[in-house]
Amino acid sequence: PQVRCAALGAVALLAAPGDVRALEVVLGCVKDVDEDVRCAAVRAVGEVAHKGDIGAVEKVLQHLMDSDEDVRCVAAEVVGELAFPDDENVIHALTQSLEDTDPDVRAAAATSLSNVHVVQRPDTLLALADTAKDEDESVRVAAVKALTSCAQSGSEVVWSVLGELLADDHADIKCTAAHGLAQMATLDDVRAAGEISKLLLDVDEGVQDAAGEALG
């Protein structure tokens, strides 16, 4: 397995983007019996394939259901970078991965959803809203960042979730939510300022500073 992993890394490093032969090689390894090789192969697909390559995207999507959590995590990361932003199959698959049993996979799925167009997908926005309440802090932060990427849409779902998260127990989440609401301020200055100003009295100085920056 170590030799195969090293070979895949070399191919990913040396091949030009879109190299057909190199892509055939790495795609031929994505179903290897060894999970480390599958990880390396999926990662290599992301390096070699052209953005939007339908065949490559489909191969990577299959590994969101892999038996190994590390492979699923890499697949979630790669597909968000490889797919076109409006790929419905990718959005649907990543939304499902928000319910993965592994927190790293859930966080990777949330992060990748920030790279695709989910504003017109209320089901995905609601799923991200639920994920923003995940028991794992890294997952919550990733979900909040994904919602923040949709802030300029003016979505009421985004408004509601970011507003609620200003009262979260974790400073990072409150800061991210504040910056998200600040992005929405051009749509509703008074409303955003009113929500963010609540953090100026937060017990955490970092949160106070973030609120001040968000308010400008």
CATH at 144: 1.25.10.10
CA 132 – CA 212 distance, rounded (Å): 23
* Angle separating helix axes 20-27 and 2-14, nearest 10 degrees: 160
Instruction: Verify that 41 and 130 share a domain, yes or no.
Output: no
| pLDDT value, residue 188 | 55
Of the ranges 43-47, 150-154, 168-172, 174-178, which is most confident? Answer: 43-47
Q: Which residues form the domain of 25?
A: 1-85
183 in a structural domain: yes
Token pair 């030799």 is found at 3
* Domains: count for the chain: 2
192 in a structural domain: yes
CA 1 – CA 154 distance, rounded (Å): 49
| pLDDT value, residue 152 | 64
Q: Which residue has the higher pLDDT, 196 or 65?
A: 65
- The answer, yes or no, to whether residue 84 has pLDDT greater than 90, is yes
